[in-house]
Amino acid sequence: MGILQRAKPLSNIGAKQVGFTLIEMVTVILILGILVVGVSGFIIFGTRIFVESSSIDQVLSQSRFAVERMTRDIRNAVPNSVRLRTATGGSYQCIELLPIDSSTSYLELPIYPDDALVSGTVIDNGISINAGQYALVYPLASNSSGVNDVYQASRNKRFELQSSSSSANVLTLTFTGLAQFAEQSPIKRIYFASQPISYCFESPIGNSEVKLYRYADYGYIASQPAPSQMGTAVLMAENVSNNLLLEPAIKLTEQNLMRNAIVHIEPRFSVNGETFKYQHQVKVTNVP
């Protein structure tokens, strides 16, 4: 028969102590600090590159949209409606034009020397005519006195419409009053339009940054208006760096008997030390 004996506790004498020395802790802290500084520097550098690239991409997208919008409007302008104005001090440069809503050929219109009438007929090619639009026939550029056929009502090239009705592919126009167009169009062309628009590069006094704005719904003004005469604008683009006196953002080659009008769009954009410039030509292909 076995004999049970009580186990004796182990003695703690001579047990090994586990831990870190001060030198080891300082070394680890230094190594971790170096790693943190290196990683954070890498992250900051990558973040800065991302932010700068995003800013450049944003300006590129914005500028492309603005130039494309200008291009579409200019190509769709009523003949001889494009005109350019630059402020004497270079605080702004504006291009004004009248976008075409629709066009067709006319059949019968009150044109001098015929009597003035309140109606006329045109070919109905599916166009939509609304009250408040204007009919234009044979608009020409400014004459020697600086009077433009499109914007000067007394030239009798533009009359407001009250209504229209269609029957058998013929559209009957009703004007708001007696109308008598000044001249026949050589190709019997008639244009319909609503309101002029303007694109203005503006550089406020004391501010070197130039911004591009779009103005609309300010009506017909005989002399090309300044931005202060056109009401509220829509911001189209920022970060334009042109000196509008020395490096115009827009140039205009006016139409003559041998060529169409050509608009040169040449804005320069600068962001985060990067600069890029557009050199874009737009031809106004519409003819009276």
Q: Summarize the confidence of residues 193-213 as an average pLDDT.
A: 88
Q: Report how far residue 126's alpha carbon sits from residue 119's, in angstroms, rounded to the nearest whole number.
A: 19
pLDDT at 1 over 50: no
Query: Mean pLDDT lowest for which of 36-40, 52-56, 247-251, 260-264?
Result: 52-56
Q: Which tens digits make up the pLDDT trace of 71-94?
A: 999 999 999 999 999 998 889 999
The pLDDT value given to residue 204: 77
Query: Which range, 61-70, 96-105, 206-215, 263-272, has the best average confidence (pLDDT)?
Result: 96-105
pLDDT at 12 over 80: no
The pLDDT value given to residue 49: 65
pLDDT at 264 over 50: yes
pTM: predicted TM-score of the whole model, two decimal places: 0.80
Which CATH number applies to 100-193: 3.30.70, 1.10.3810, 2.40.30, 1.10.10? Answer: 2.40.30
How many CB atoms are closer than 10 A to CB 9? 6
pLDDT at 160 over 70: yes
* pLDDT tier for residue 182 given thresholds of 50, 70 and 90: very high
Of 145 and 61, the structure prediction assigns the larger pLDDT to 61
The pLDDT value given to residue 143: 52
DSSP codes, 64-110: HHHHHHHHHHHHTBPTT--EEEE-TTSSEEEEEE-BEEEEEEEEE--
Q: Summarize the confidence of residues 38-49 as an average pLDDT.
A: 68
Long-range contacts of 62-70, Cβ-Cβ distance < 8 Å, separation of 24 or more: 62/236, 62/237, 62/238, 63/237, 63/239, 63/267, 63/269, 63/278, 65/236, 65/237, 66/212, 66/236, 66/237, 67/265, 67/267, 67/278, 67/280, 69/214, 69/236, 70/95, 70/199, 70/265, 70/282
Query: Mean pLDDT lowest for which of 30-34, 201-205, 254-258?
Result: 254-258
Of 171 and 287, the structure prediction assigns the larger pLDDT to 171
pLDDT at 95 over 60: yes
The pLDDT value given to residue 199: 97
Q: Report how far residue 95's alpha carbon sits from residue 112's, in angstroms, rounded to the nearest whole number.
A: 32
- Of all residues in the chain, what percent carry a pLDDT higher than 70? 83
Q: Report how far residue 279's alpha carbon sits from residue 247's, in angstroms, rounded to the nearest whole number.
A: 12
One-letter amino acid at 72 equals R
The pLDDT value given to residue 46: 64
- Domain boundaries in the chain? 55-96+199-283, 100-193
pLDDT at 22 over 80: no
Contacts of residue 117, Cβ cutoff 8 Å, sequence gap at least 6 = 110, 175, 178, 179, 180
Task: Label residue 75 exposed, middle or buried (CB < 10 Å: 0-12, 13-18, 19+).
Answer: middle
